[in-house]
Amino acid sequence: MLTSLAVAAALLGDAMLYVVMPSRPELWHLTIAEVGILLSANRFVRLLTNPMSSEIIRRFGVGKPFASAMWSSLIVLIIYAYSTNFLVLLLARLLWGACWSVLRLGAQWTALEHSSKFNLGLNLSYNASIIRIGAIGGALFGGILSDYVGYREALLIFGLSTLVVTGIWSKKTLKQISELTIQTKQQRRQYRNILGNPRIMVINCCALVVGLIWAGILSGTIGHYLRFRYGLELNFFTIALGVTSFTGLVLGLRSFAEVFVGPMGGYLSDRYGRVRVLLITLIFSAGCVMGLGVDLNVLNMLILLILAFTGGVLLNMQLLALAGEIAQKISRTETLSVYATFQDFGSALGPIIGLSVIASARLSLLYETSGVILLIFGLIFFMAFRRVSFESTPTTSI
């Protein structure tokens, strides 16, 4: 619990950037293209830092690397608050990407340490749900605080929260986690076996697509899309909300779904079989994402965004359960780092595609295309797993 909450605290500032930067780039004296680069940089660097974090945790354990990443995340927040230089901000985003690689893998490893094949999906999704509390706070309160007290003050508040939680975690948990040793049966690295397994690669590529659409395209562009479609103020019933506040509300609801709907995705995967539940969720999510490209009023757009983000949460948890099950059989650190790298690569491409390559007027077409890609990938997934019984238990679903 404390480890997951520590990661949640470190996530506050990052989540706030996805709300404020696309809708108010002038606060940092940035162009919208530069925003796209910054929001993608931390994900591109994880293509390198994910395997590095695997080796670091293999060699030094979980505790000390995790603690170093937590303290480094505070430095990143200070840079966000006081720098408007693009290159300095870029370095901060790269540092945050390295921190996140260690924090995520450390939290997932800790969750797997306490899991069996019967509750693996639930435990991993529960861990992810706690972490997303930070995304709720960063997106929802970050947007509101930015509008009413200023973005710099909001970041400093988040930095103080991270400092307090890091101190508590260091005092209560660091020693216990440091005493855990990584149990690996193999002496050789397993990357070749992981990358050479067709079904594992289908799962990883599906994670790439899901990361591209939800963590990348939707989360990175929705504020810019709402501003283009509705202007700087959105009339919600009798209330006029600034586009930054509304974007923060939407992304906060996404993270809210990850907290409360996420464990359901893991439970359904444990209970009814991972392949069947994943295919059904893919079809549902594709329809919701395609619908975002339709001309809707503010209320209907909000409802569809909630449904779309809920579908994305379920997909993420079910894919994570599949990857976690494989990790228990092959290698925790390597399987999870490869899975995370594919997902990060997709999420890194999203903001660049949506903000730096695609014009605002074409974002609706981008959402519709994303839905079609999901349907195509659902067919690929079905073909790859067509010989797997949909009634099988999770231990035979791989």
Q: Compute the distance between CA of residue 287 and CA of residue 357 in angstroms, rounded to an integer.
A: 24
Here the tokens at position 10 are 């470190």
- What's the mean pLDDT in 7-21? 89
* pLDDT greater than 50 at residue 184: no
* pLDDT greater than 80 at residue 170: yes
Segment (H or E) for 240:
strand 239-242
The pLDDT tens digits for 129-150 are: 888 888 778 877 888 888 888 8
Model pLDDT, residue 178:
64
Q: Compute the distance between CA of residue 304 and CA of residue 292 in angstroms, rounded to an integer.
A: 7
Q: Report the alpha-carbon angle 142-286-303, nearest 5.
A: 45
Query: DSSP assignment, residue 386?
Result: T
- What's the mean pLDDT in 76-100? 93
* pLDDT greater than 50 at residue 372: yes
Q: Compute the distance between CA of residue 133 and CA of residue 128 in angstroms, rounded to an integer.
A: 9
For residues 251 and 345, the model is more confident at 345
Model pLDDT, residue 241:
73
Cα dihedral 117, 118, 123, 128 sign: positive
Model pLDDT, residue 134:
85
Share of the chain above pLDDT 70, in %: 88
Confidence of residue 391 (pLDDT cuts 50, 70, 90): very low
- What's the mean pLDDT in 288-304? 84
Here the tokens at position 309 are 């983000």
* pLDDT greater than 70 at residue 393: no
- What's the mean pLDDT in 339-367? 78
Confidence of residue 78 (pLDDT cuts 50, 70, 90): very high
Model pLDDT, residue 302:
83
Model pLDDT, residue 360:
67
Segment (H or E) for 86:
helix 86-113
Model pLDDT, residue 187:
46
Average pLDDT of the residues of the chain: 81
Mean pLDDT lowest among 75-79, 123-127, 180-184, 206-210? 180-184
Q: Compute the distance between CA of residue 271 and CA of residue 151 in angstroms, rounded to an integer.
A: 44
- Sort 164 into a burial class: Cβ within 10 Å, 0-12 / 13-18 / 19+: exposed
Model pLDDT, residue 235:
72
Model pLDDT, residue 387:
64
Q: Compute the distance between CA of residue 266 and CA of residue 115 in angstroms, rounded to an integer.
A: 13
Model pLDDT, residue 80:
92
- Residue 380 carries which side chain, given as an amino acid letter? I
Cα dihedral 81, 83, 87, 92 sign: negative
Domains in the chain (CATH in brackets) are: 2-180+190-396 (1.20.1250.20)
- Sort 344 into a burial class: Cβ within 10 Å, 0-12 / 13-18 / 19+: buried
Place of tokens 């228990």: 328
For residues 380 and 322, the model is more confident at 380
* pLDDT greater than 70 at residue 165: yes
Model pLDDT, residue 143:
81
Mean pLDDT lowest among 117-126, 173-182, 253-262? 173-182
For 244-292, the DSSP string reads HHHHHHHHHHHHHHHHHTHHHHHHHHHHH-HHHHHHHHHHHHHHHHHHT
Confidence of residue 357 (pLDDT cuts 50, 70, 90): low
The two beta strands, 233-236 and 239-242, are: antiparallel
- Residue 111 carries which side chain, given as an amino acid letter? A
Q: Report the alpha-carbon angle 191-193-194, nearest 5.
A: 65
Here the tokens at position 367 are 């959402």
Model pLDDT, residue 179:
61
